[in-house]
Structure 1
Amino acid sequence: MKLAILSRNSSLYSTRRLIEAAREQRHTVRVLDPLRCYMRIAAGDFAMHYKGKPLTGYDAVIPRIGASVTRYGSAVLRQFELMGTCTPNPSDAILKARDKLRAHQLLAAQGIHMPVTVFGDNPDDTGDLLNLLGPPPHVIKLTESSQGAGVILAEKLSASRGITEALRGLYANFLVQEFVAEAKGADLRCFVVGDRVVAAMRRQAPSGEFRSNLHRGGTAVGVSPSEAECEVAVRATKVLGLGIAGVDLIRSDRGPLVLEVNASPGLEGIESASGKDIAGEIVAFVAQGCPPRKPSAGRRRK
């Protein structure tokens, strides 16, 4: 298989591990910076170049598109798809997952439980909006945040009002959620590949912090998720159209609640915590699921 990895930096842990796994499984692999890919778009004629040379003949592409380049990176991935290249995470699925509000709406529509969430636009509605949610504490999240950035805990109603008004003044897109106290600052990252959870870790926030992200000083240990947790993680991944995802859950009194579905989950923390070769699982899944490359729609440009 001729495999491309879309990544801004080939030295990042996740990218390096995918390269190693691809080579161990005897695939040809190349890392492509999505910002150096450029496209020709015409009716029935799609072409892409990279640093002055055409990109052709790739059987599959694994996207590792960071949040800061979502728009352009997803356009590059879409161009690969239109040229007949297979991907486990299609461009539209990545866009769904990156927009927290959209993802929450789609998941809730399929009966997947999450912390109660509210969203509004007009400042005149702030009081009633917060009443819909219930008493504080409240968790306020930017809709395109990552790694815990842009996530704020408001412990009083006055704080929720003030933060909401400030974010609206900055024209930021955000949502407000209930705070699930019984989770005690911990969450569960389930790594989904295809139809199963291949690894999971429990992340614990440090003292004085409610965000359990490893980038925020959280600690992680490998765990065996329950059947219900595995089921909801796989379902959430499929609802958004992803083949590979990191699904963040919290354990609540009413069962597992989905916090987020990450379309480009990091490998370092969970491989270290679980001791599992997740990169190898990903490459094997891609190789098994991607058929021989289809011809490009239209004539092929040299």
Structure 2
Amino acid sequence: MKLAILSRNSKLYSTRRLVEAARERGHTVRVLDPLRCYMKISEDGFEMHYKGMLLRGYSAVIPRVGASITRYGCAVLRQFELMGCYTPNTSDAILKARDKLRTHQLLAAQSIGLPATVFGDNPDDTDDLLSMLGKPPHVIKLSEGTQGAGVMLAEKLSAARGMVEALRGLRADFLVQEFIEEAKGADLRCFVVGGKVVGAMRRQAARGDFRSNLHRGGTAKAIMPTRDEIEVAVRAAHVLGLNVAGVDLIRSKRGPLVLEVNSSPGLEGIEAATGMDIAGIIVDHVCASDIAINATRQRRKKAATSKRAKPPVKKRKA
């Protein structure tokens, strides 16, 4: 099968592992920088070009689109979708997951547990907004932050007010959430592929920090999630339409709560903690999809038809 991986850097661990896993299974794979992809849209169909070449024959695309290029990356991915390529995470699903407010609204609508969250715009409403969460500490998050960036803890009401005012001054979109003290700076990353939790790890924040992200110095170890945690993780990924997702949960007195659903979860931490070939599981899922299989069949059929249609080449007489 012919696969493409959308990634800005072919040397990143997750991208390298996906390439290795695909080649080990006999697939043809190419890493495409989404910012070097450009497209043509017309009533005659869709075209994707890359560095001066017309791209053809891809059965599936695995997106590793960074947050900084979400809009353009999703436009490229959407073009591949319209060209008949399978992708485990569609452009629409990625856009949902990248917007924390939209994610929380969609999850709450399905009664999936999450920390109480408030959102508002007018400075005159700040005190009432924060009062809806009760007493501090409060967690303040940028709506589109990743890897713990843009996540702050306000231990006093005055600090929360100051952070909110500063973010509004920067015209940044943000959420304010209740602080789950009993989580003690730890969360669970459940890795979901094809509607199943295929691996999980418990991440513990570094001393003096409340963010458990490994990029922030947190530590991780493999863990067996409970039935409730598995159910919540699978449901959260399903609600957003993600077939590959890193679902971050915290354990609370109310049960498992969803912190975030990552549409492009890193592989290094989960593979190191669990010793599992998560990249291989992703590739196997992608290549087993009906859409990818049908796309491959159509490509081979078209190639065979084209070959038969070519007239025989007459040899020149000496």
Q: Fold-level match, TM-score > 0.5? A: yes
| SS of aligned partner of 2:294 | coil
Which residue does the alignment assign to 2:103? 103
| SS of aligned partner of 2:260 | strand
* Matching of residues 194-233 of structure 1 within 5 Å: 194-233=194-233
CA RMSD of aligned residues (A): 1.1
Shift of 1:43: 2.6
Deviation sequence 1:66-111 (CA, Å, 0-9, x none): 0011010000000000111110000000000000000100010011
Which residue does the alignment assign to 1:299? none
Cα distance in 1 for residues equivalent to 2:22 and 2:281: 10
Cα distance in 2 for residues equivalent to 1:291 and 1:135: 54
Deviation beyond 3 Å, 4+ runs, structure 1: none
Cα distance in 1 for residues equivalent to 2:48 and 2:14: 25
Shift of 1:282: 0.2
| SS of aligned partner of 2:111 | coil
| SS of aligned partner of 1:175 | strand
Cα distance in 2 for residues equivalent to 1:98 and 1:259: 13
| SS of aligned partner of 2:293 | coil
Shift of 1:44: 4.5
Cα distance in 1 for residues equivalent to 2:240 and 2:134: 28
Question: Does residue 132 of structure 1 match 2:141?
Answer: no
The alignment of Structure 1 onto Structure 2 pairs a total of residues equal to 296
Shift of 1:292: 1.6
Which residue does the alignment assign to 1:5? 5
Cα distance in 2 for residues equivalent to 1:181 and 1:75: 40
Which residue does the alignment assign to 2:38? 38
Structure 2 segments unaligned to the other structure (5+ residues): 300-318
* Matching of residues 52-63 of structure 1 within 5 Å: 52-63=52-63
Which residue does the alignment assign to 1:291? 293
Letter in 2 for 1:160: A
Ranked by relative contact order (alpha carbons within 8 Å, sequence separation 6 or more), the top structure is 1
Cα distance in 2 for residues equivalent to 1:136 and 1:75: 40
Shift of 1:291: 3.1
Cα distance in 1 for residues equivalent to 2:58 and 2:127: 53
Cα distance in 2 for residues equivalent to 1:160 and 1:195: 38
Which residue does the alignment assign to 1:300? none
Letter in 1 for 2:118: V
Shift of 1:262: 0.1
Which residue does the alignment assign to 2:155? 155
Question: Does residue 74 of structure 1 match 2:79?
Answer: no
| SS of aligned partner of 2:96 | helix
Segment drifting more, 161-170 vs 284-293: 284-293
Cα distance in 1 for residues equivalent to 2:248 and 2:293: 30
For the pair shown, which has the larger CA radius of gyration, 1 or 2?
2
Cα distance in 2 for residues equivalent to 1:134 and 1:40: 52
Cα distance in 2 for residues equivalent to 1:26 and 1:55: 20
Structure 1 segments unaligned to the other structure (5+ residues): 297-302
Question: Does residue 258 of structure 1 match 2:246?
Answer: no
Identity of aligned residues (%): 74
Deviation sequence 1:144-196 (CA, Å, 0-9, x none): 00000000000000111110011001100000000000000000000000121
Question: Does residue 113 of structure 1 match 2:113?
Answer: yes
Letter in 2 for 1:292: N
Q: TM-score, normalised by structure 1?
A: 0.96
| SS of aligned partner of 2:132 | helix
Letter in 1 for 2:243: G
| SS of aligned partner of 1:135 | coil
